[in-house]
């Protein structure tokens, strides 16, 4: 029996992942860290509400076997480059370090196709840097998923993803 924590559980990938883990008998407890309450009730679910600044304290005593990171900021004009980097890089690294210190053996990370820490393009460079820094934490098991465009019915609007 395992315990897991998910970062990004309110997003498209994370919400599907949450549903799968809640319905998987291997997992006895699923903790999610979200910025606002989610409308899900399940006996296995533990919800922690926080943001980038409160997250380290919020999870410092959370003991899990596995950490799932499905975070991703939408690049837009309202968001600074620093905010994007915090969400896509710093937040996951802090979460993974804390989980490992608390005994987590496995990390599952969703990045993007073409992730490359040496890229000139901010998005793929950031995704490459998060991969590099998560790998450097030296978990017993590190799983990195690099999907291309992720499509499906989303709550948020992304008109550029509809272009072919």
Write down the pTM of the prediction: 0.88
Is 45 part of any domain? yes
Residue 14 binned pLDDT confidence (cut-offs 50, 70, 90): very high
Q: What is the pLDDT of residue 87?
A: 87
In a domain, 164, yes or no: no
Asked if residue 145 belongs to a domain, the reply is: yes
Looking at the domain assignment, is residue 119 inside a domain?
yes
- Whose tokens are 């496995």? That residue is 106
Cβ–Cβ under 8 Å, residues 107 and 142: yes
Mean pLDDT score across all residues of the chain: 89
The answer to whether residue 134 sits within a structural domain is yes
CB 29 within 8 A of CB 20: no
pLDDT digits (tens, 9 = 90+) for 55-106: 889 999 999 999 999 987 766 656 678 888 988 999 999 999 999 999 999 9
Structural domain of residue 42, as residue ranges?
2-150
Q: What is the pLDDT of residue 31?
A: 97
Asked if the structure places residue 157 within a domain, the reply is no
The number of distinct structural domains making up the chain is 1
Output the domain CATH number for residue 93.
Answer: 3.40.50.720
The reply to whether 77 falls in a domain is: yes
Tokens representing 29? 């407890």
């Amino acid at each position: 029996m395992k315990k897991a924590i998910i970062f990004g559980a309110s997003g498209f990938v994370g919400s599907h992942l949450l549903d799968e883990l809640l319905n998987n008998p291997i997992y006895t407890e699923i903790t999610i860290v979200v910025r606002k309450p989610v409308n899900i009730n399940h006996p296995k679910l533990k919800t922690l509400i926080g943001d980038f600044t409160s997250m380290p304290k919020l999870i410092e005593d959370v003991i899990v076997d596995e950490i799932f990171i499905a975070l991703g900021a939408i690049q837009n004009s309202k968001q600074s480059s620093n905010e994007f980097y915090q969400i896509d890089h710093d937040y996951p690294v802090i979460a993974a370090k804390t989980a490992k210190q608390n005994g987590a053996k496995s990390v599952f990370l969703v990045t993007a196709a073409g992730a490359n820490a040496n890229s000139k393009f901010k998005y793929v460079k950031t995704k490459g840097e998060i991969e590099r820094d998560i790998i450097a934490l030296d978990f017993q098991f590190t799983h990195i998923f690099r999907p291309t465009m992720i499509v499906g019915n989303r709550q948020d609007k992304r008109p550029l993803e509809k272009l072919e």
